[in-house]
Chains A and B, each alone.
Chain A
Amino acid sequence: MINSDLRLKIVHLITNAKEGHIPSSFSVVDIINFVFEKQLNINKRNINSSKRDYFILSKGHSAAALYVVLNKFKILKDKHLLGYGKSKGILGGHPETTKTPGVEASTGSLGHGFPYAVGIALGLKLSKKKNKVITLIGDGECHEGTIWEAANIAVNQNLNNLTVIVDRNESAIQLMKIENLEKKWKAFGWDVIVADGHSKKSLVKAFKKIKFSLKPKIIIADTVKGKGVSFLEGHGAWHHKIPNKEELKLIEKELGKSNL
């Protein structure tokens, strides 16, 4: 298990505010932490600079995972986390770019962040800038038509500065199955790599493989919704559920509560 500290912070944010999506945040937190640590040039000094790389969380309901990573990298302060869901705070169940440093897009309605990231990548190419753009989408989000519209645009505009990561936590399967996701993206002209979204080693390998690709790139990251706490894993009631006191204790126990 990696990043249990971040998972505990997510649980505490959401439980205190009684709002948020714990399992969806757990499925992406390792990925977001990895890209901030190893892939992107984003830090508290360059957060408003045109030299920064861009991370767009297209599946906005995983916002808590982004917040705790931004906090880890000192872009958000502890006091910001404490204000989660409060009227005087800057954080909530879906991210808002006009309020929150490090949040590049106000997402929540699925299918917006990815085409927006396509525009950012296109703009950076036009300006001959080398900044990287990474956007994280969900496999359920791949039901949206704009995902495939944007997939076509990115290939047609040759956006090799853009990397998409799909959080394949199998949300799609329980609703409307999307078979052969890899083949579909390949058919759209993307360089496709499959990785384990909870394994640093696997993500390192995936990014190494796509480093010199001349096409837009997509990493299909296999994940487990609710990863890290046995009874949160999978699909069902926990999608938007808030733990009670007893459940919180069990979650803390499974994550090995430390002084956080």
Chain B
Amino acid sequence: MKMQNLRKKFAKVALDLAKKDPRVVIIVADISHGVFAEFRKKFPNRYFNIGICEPAIVSMAAGLSKVGFIPFVHTIAPFLIERSYEQIKLDFAYQKLNVNLVSTGSSFDYSQLGCSHHCYSDVSLIKKFRGSQIFLPSSELELEGFIKRNYSKKKINYFRLTDNPHGIKLGKKQLSESCMSLSKGDKITVVAVANSLKNIMEVKDLIKNKNTLDIFYINSNKNIDFNKINKSVRKTKKLLVVEELFYKGGIYEDILMNLELKNVQKSEHIAIKDFVHGYGSYEEMKKKSNLNTDSILKKIKKILK
């Protein structure tokens, strides 16, 4: 499978949309200049590299939305979501305006740059706005589908781009589902959120009994089919959710709120609990947060004991 580059794909999808839809404008805060070179060339009046002033950029995007444009605001996740949170809350959510927020640098993608460039809480923050839509694409195909189907809906759309896609090939039918079944098993229900799927599939390969894991993949908070998870948990009685997000306010919380608890013997969760201090590779950051393949395998073995 070819190396997936979600930022490049975003720029390409945005260009496709801009050709058909004159309302599309791109606003970036000093990032992704290279991938947007063609967009800038074709639509110089609809591409704005404003500068390093994220809160004002978000408010400005609300003004553009007010007069009929469809803004895509794009920069590094902590600055787009956490720094500009009041602007998103008041200028978009409170005023009921449409925006597409597209972040890069999810969780600890910028592993060597330190915690200032990490972002774990973005999903929980945006989820607080009723009707907002969170998209966690982990392949180019997922990204393209999410953006094209949702960019013009009058909502706060948050597209969280990862630099570490799962690398799993998903079929078209699977991509049309909100809770994809990727492997059948009967010992434990495992929900992989976004790029955690890579590690879950690795865990699957490491377990001798191939019918152990009942694996589901979720990449959005939109219309999750909780029936599938409940049906699986009725069978397995055990649930593990793995998400490279802050441990409160993520997809696990959504699942818990919809889980038939009477069927559950054990429900566990692996997520990010605190600042992941220090530096190193992305894989090392995952290890520190117990999100790596070995830690997930250990956790599953413990649950199954």
Contacts and interface: CB of A to CB of B under 8 A. Distances in A.
Interface of A: 50, 96-98, 104-106, 108-109, 111-112, 114-124, 126-127, 145-146, 149-150, 152-153, 156-157
A118 B62 CA distance: 10
10 contacts: A97-B95, A98-B96, A116-B60, A116-B62, A119-B60, A120-B66, A121-B63, A122-B63, A126-B46, A149-B56
Interface of B: 25, 45-46, 48, 50-51, 53, 55-57, 59-69, 86-87, 90-91, 94-96
A124 B60 contact: no
A122 B60 contact: yes
Nearest to A107: B90
A112 B63 contact: no
Contacts of A108: 90
A106 B53 contact: no
A123 B59 contact: no
Contacts of A118: 56, 59-60, 63
Contacts of B87: 112, 115, 146
A98 B95 contact: yes
Given A117-B63, A120-B63, A152-B53, A126 B95 contact: no
A112 to B, nearest CB: 6
Given A97-B95, A106-B94, A124 B55 contact: no
A149 to B, nearest CB: 3
Nearest to B67: A123
A149 B67 contact: no
A50 B67 CA distance: 8
B56 A126 contact: no
Most buried by B among A96, A115, A121: A115
Contacts of A149: 53, 55-57
A150 B56 CA distance: 6
A127 B51 CA distance: 22
A123 B51 contact: no
- 4 smallest beta-carbon distances between A and B, as pairs: A119-B63, A149-B56, A115-B59, A149-B53
Nearest to B60: A119
Given A106-B95, A123-B69, A153 B63 contact: no
A127 B90 contact: no
A244 B61 CA distance: 44
Contacts of B50: 153, 156
Given A98-B96, A116-B91, A127 B56 contact: no
Nearest to A147: B56
A157 B63 CA distance: 14
B63 A109 contact: no
Contact of A112 (B53, B68, B91): B91
Contacts of B60: 115-116, 118-119, 122, 150, 153
A171 to B, nearest CB: 21
A134 to B, nearest CB: 13
A140 B91 CA distance: 21
